[in-house]
A and B are shown apart, each in its own frame.
Chain A
Amino acid sequence: MTTSRTRFTAPQRLLHWLMAICVLSMLFIGVGMVSTVASKYLTLVQIHKSLGIGILLLALIRLALRICYGAPALPADISEPMKLGAYLSQYAFYALMIGMPLLGWGMMSAAAYPIVIFGVLHLPPILPVSAKLHTLLWRAHFYLAFVFFALILLHVAAILFHKLVRRDGVFETMAPEIRRAKPEPK
């Protein structure tokens, strides 16, 4: 899965940052919408469903790119358990980026709600109507959302640690390309 490149390819980086914004928005919209009774509730739910399905599509593309292009190797001096942690968290992210939208879609199917995204597009149900299934998926969507957020906090803390403390170039693997003229700053 690793490549000799020192950075992720440009499409991978673009998708990473675009999706980081989308996923964070989704988490905030999610917890915000279920705790409000204001009229914006309906708008938030609409955005939540549409953006969520958007994330599903982007995540599948991103997964394909990852399989094609792999990832730059982590610095050699990182301990094995840390490396394992880094890889596991990446698998977990992919699982969540694909799993959360499917859970959302599935739970709405099981609850017999019509699923309309972007105001016009009707998605077909992906599961039969069932109170039991709905409950299971709804709970999973709920708990995994918090797991997702916690993992992002951990991810950000770890990346900042690489950037500010270890200064080992891990951050730069995902950083936007800024001029080749000044190689290896600092």
Chain B
Amino acid sequence: MAQSPPPPRGFPLGSLAIIAAVVAVAATAFAYTAGWLSPHRLTPKKLVASLAPAEGPALGHRRNHTKGICFSGTFDANGNGSALSKAQVFIRGQYPVIGRFNLASPNLNAVDAMVRVRGLGIQITQSDHQEWRSAMIDAPIFPVSTPQGFYELQMASGSKDPDAMKKFIGAHQEFLSFLGWAKSAPWTGSYAEQRYNSLDSFVFTDQSGAKHSIRWSLVPAAQTVPISPDELTKRGPDFLEKEITERVAAAPQRWSLVVTVANPGDPTADPNKAWPADRQTVEVGTLTVQQIEAEQDGPCRDINFDPTVLPNGIGTSDDPFPAVRSAAYSRSFNSRTAEESHYPRTTTGGKQ
């Protein structure tokens, strides 16, 4: 070790310049990685902000699918899913469920009859504590093919430019097939009469290690009774939540979980493209909704139904949406849980 500093050599300008340069390069690389130098990068922050209604987001609430109600129940696996996936959740047995019925709108006070798309969030817990979370909608296809397209849709629908939607559709022809569904599909008067679809594809891995590209849907046991939006309007702005509460109080409601297996070449990366109707389907079990609870103190409130929370045996595919959704839902979750004062619980501590 040096005994004493070397003889003074004048002002060490060169050395100090090297030190400053090292620090500056490191700090710049960090800022670049954090996106501070690339204002055009599509970040989760921008994406989530683009969802906000004109008057701003509903603080303390989900940034999309904002109005909703919690449920709890069970998933009864019949064992058939084990041929496709080694996930424990497909082994014959009962698994607890927490979920949430919701409207696909960022507006907390959305009127039921004004929101075309309805959704369902679900969390199924295996006995080994691994979880399967999913957020699905009743539309048979997603409005757009890419996450970038979803962002552009938000920008266009929030734009003051009267031609914005026209321009958007010009660049996103795939939106027309969604509009076709939106205009023609019947409305129902109950969350229980809806079919909910994963739309995104995922990959099941079976015992032998073989992989299967799949999508899944919850198909209602309740009979679908079409009603007109006008009729729904007459029933009141919050009819759906009232209806499902009464309905479940009267009798548990059931859906069967149906897995659709892709053929080679089916579009797995584009939730805007339905797979042909003749694809193999496997009914893997039954969702039973046993209890409805208001969101404010309910068990679904502080859950992020992040579609990438999956048990061993289920994984993401080449579909780019789940990753984007995971990033966006996390951002929404972080914001809303930090805004508890805007949405206080009525019982202390909350459930769970």
Contact = CB atoms under 8 A, between A and B. Distances in A.
Nearest to B98: A112
Smallest CB-CB A-B distances: 3 pairs:
A35-B35, A31-B34, A164-B15
9 contacts: A31-B34, A37-B327, A37-B328, A112-B304, A113-B306, A113-B309, A157-B19, A167-B2, A168-B2
Given A35-B33, A113-B309, A132-B340, 11 more contacts: A31-B30, A37-B43, A41-B323, A111-B304, A114-B130, A129-B352, A134-B337, A156-B22, A157-B19, A161-B15, A184-B1
A40 B323 CA distance: 8
B5 A114 contact: no
Contacts of B128: 122
Contacts of A184: 1-2
Contacts of B30: 27-28, 31, 149
Interface in A131-186: 131-132, 134-135, 138-139, 149, 153, 156-157, 160-161, 164-169, 172-173, 184, 186
Interface of B: 1-2, 4-6, 12, 15-16, 18-19, 22-23, 26-27, 29-30, 33-35, 41-45, 47, 128-131, 147, 302-304, 306, 308-309, 312, 316, 320, 322-324, 326-328, 331, 333-334, 337-338, 340, 349-350, 352
Contacts of B338: 131, 135, 138-139
Contacts, number: 133
A113 to B, nearest CB: 7
B312 A34 contact: no
B19 A37 contact: no
Contacts of A129: 302, 352
A80 interface: no
Nearest to A107: B334
Contacts of B47: 37
Given A157-B19, A164-B19, A36 B43 contact: yes
A111 B337 CA distance: 9
A138 B334 contact: yes
Contacts of B333: 111
A41 B34 contact: no
A186 B7 CA distance: 12
B12 A157 contact: no
A32 interface: yes
B33 A168 contact: no
A15 B309 CA distance: 33
A134 B290 CA distance: 29
Given A6-B1, A135-B338, A164-B18, A42 B326 contact: yes
A122 B23 CA distance: 38
A113 B304 contact: yes
B6 A114 contact: no
A35 B27 CA distance: 17
A28 B33 contact: yes
Given A34-B44, A172-B1, A167 B26 contact: no
Contacts of A130: 349-350
Contacts of A45: 326
A135 B335 CA distance: 9
A31 B323 contact: no
Contacts of B45: 35
- Which of A72, A75, A112, A130 has the most chain B CB within a 10 Å cutoff? A112
Given A111-B304, A131-B350, A164 B129 contact: no
B42 A122 contact: no
A39 interface: yes
Contacts of A72: 1
Interface string A79-115: 0000000000000000000000000000000011110
A129 B351 CA distance: 9
A37 B323 contact: yes
A37 B44 contact: yes
A138 B316 CA distance: 26
Given A114-B129, A114-B309, A129-B352, A153 B23 contact: yes
Contact of A167 (B6, B320, B331, B350): B6
